[in-house]
Amino acid sequence: MKTRELALDALVKIEQQGAYSNLLLRQMLDKQALDSRDAALLTEIVYGTVQRQLTIDHVLNTLIERGISSFSPWLRACLRLSLYQMLFLDRVPDHAIVNTAVQIAKKRGHLGIAKLVNGVLRNAIRRKSEWLNGSIHKNAAERISHLYSYPLWLVAMWLAQYGESVTEQICAAQLRPAKTSVRVNQMKTNRDAMLKQMQDRSLHATASCLSNDGIVIERAGNLADSDWFRNGWCTIQDESSMMVAEALDASQSMKVLDCCAAPGGKTTHIAEKMKDKGAVVAVDVHPHKKNLIADQTKRLRLSSVETVTADATKLRDRFKDQTFDRILLDAPCSGFGVIRRKPDLKWRKTEADLQAIVKLQQTLLESVAPLLKSGGILVYSTCTLNRAENEQVIANFLRKHPHFLASPDFPSSFPEALRNNVDKTLGCIKILPHEYDSDGFFIARLRRI
């Protein structure tokens, strides 16, 4: 019952205090003495309940006359996590789920509430096949929204941009648990050697089919506690994210600017690609995040990275125009490509938020572009799937700046399937979540002429 109560507490904090699910879970796991199975179950219940909240609430609202919103936060959380386990997990019998929920209700409420919980959940069991088979909806947007638990406006936006088949694949893929992947530090070892070490320790590790530096591990546990991580042999990073430094294609003699660098994953990858030669200037606007980048460079023993606290829109006050051979702008975005890692994102963001995000992205791009040398490459990347934040930002920039051209010649280290699908007009690729079972990313290459 302890794991379910921790999950309940987490769900209440996410809903009532606006806590971020990934950060909150990390804090809870650090504080609680849970074995690996309970830690995995806690993570699965919290992420899964948040991911499926729209579907779960739709079911509960058909079972509760006054609706789920009429209940107290802890009671909502109790019913939601219980129904999530019933509908989407199969390891615990339904009667055990009901029994645990009733015990929690007695402990946190009273006998009357316990009877209510028992009645609602037992009614849900009787009608389970009805929920799992789905129901008839008026249109594709409503069907996908209810079936996969995404805000209707977000589904409608993706339908307009990608069509029904791809939208459904995006939604389904981002409900699956995120894989654990690491980036091998090629300055210290190579992927084959690290793969062998991991497999010798009975880890189910395989080479990434997306990144030549990547390894994917099933049931990895906490790799941040491993000797490989502590000694700088690898960095925990999603496979799609690894492709950003690949696209930059920086060499050892170059000076590189990483405009929005924290927490430093892409910064350190760039430095590794450059064999810790040349110079990488890592900028972030938040002073406390400078330490995150510094911690990564220290762990990896990189000396070529300089960390700077500054507003990226004002870097021309610090650096002369045409200072850098390469610029990376990993822009702030809506994050709709990483929903599987941050499930509460889809409930926090609104359509109105997107306009402000696009404006910031355009301002950042306009601000840092003059710092690129003639002949240099600027990479613009996001972890979102919204074309207004991606293709439209690049198209608008190229229209206004004829001395910048799309640079669609992505390095040969990119999978052939991606290179064959480059948008040559904009010099960009998209990695959709279902294509490699990785995060969704957008990467554009621009060259100053």
Residue-wise DSSP of 275-315: TT-SEEEEEES-GGGHHHHHHHHHHTT--SEEEEE--GGGG
- The two tokens of residue 36 are 């690996």
Q: Please name the residue that has the structure tokens 């019913």.
A: 79
Instruction: Report the C-alpha gap between 161 and 24 in whole angstroms.
Output: 33
Q: For residue 325, what is the enclosing H or E element?
A: strand 324-330
Asked whether residue 151 carries a pLDDT value surpassing 60, the answer given is: yes
Residues in CB range of 307: below 8 A, 6 or more apart: 261, 282, 283, 284, 290, 293, 294, 297
Asked whether residue 131 carries a pLDDT value surpassing 70, the answer given is: no
Q: 195-228: per-residue pLDDT in tens?
A: 999 999 999 999 999 999 999 998 777 888 899 9
Asked whether residue 113 carries a pLDDT value surpassing 60, the answer given is: yes
β-pairing verdict for 372-382 and 324-330: parallel
Instruction: Report the C-alpha gap between 333 and 137 in whole angstroms.
Output: 31
Asked whether residue 137 carries a pLDDT value surpassing 70, the answer given is: no
Asked whether residue 135 carries a pLDDT value surpassing 60, the answer given is: no
- The two tokens of residue 55 are 């579907």
Q: 221-239: per-residue pLDDT in tens?
A: 788 889 999 999 999 999 9
Asked whether residue 134 carries a pLDDT value surpassing 60, the answer given is: no
Residue 2 confidence (pLDDT): 85
Percent of the chain with pLDDT over 90: 81
Among the listed residues 78, 171, 260, 383, the single catalytic one is 383
Lowest mean per-residue pLDDT among 141-145, 258-262, 301-305: 141-145
Catalytic-residue membership of 383? yes
Instruction: Report the C-alpha gap between 347 and 213 in whole angstroms.
Output: 33
Residue 221 confidence (pLDDT): 75
- Sketch the domain layout of the chain as residue ranges: 2-132, 140-173, 239-448
Asked whether residue 326 carries a pLDDT value surpassing 80, the answer given is: yes
Secondary-structure class of domain 239-448 per CATH:
alpha beta
Q: 61-78: per-residue pLDDT in tens?
A: 989 988 999 999 999 999
User: Helix %, strand %, coil % for the chain, to 5?
Assistant: 55, 15, 30
pTM greater than 0.85 (yes/no): yes
pLDDT band per the 50, 70, 90 thresholds, residue 132: low
Q: Side chain identity at 6, as an amino acid letter?
A: L
Q: 376-421: per-residue pLDDT in tens?
A: 999 999 999 999 999 999 999 999 999 999 999 999 999 999 999 9
- The two tokens of residue 90 are 């199969």
**Average pLDDT of span 183-190:** 96
The fold adopted by the segment(s) 2-132 is: N-utilizing Substance Protein B Homolog; Chain A (1.10.940)
Residue 127 confidence (pLDDT): 82
**Average pLDDT of span 114-137:** 79
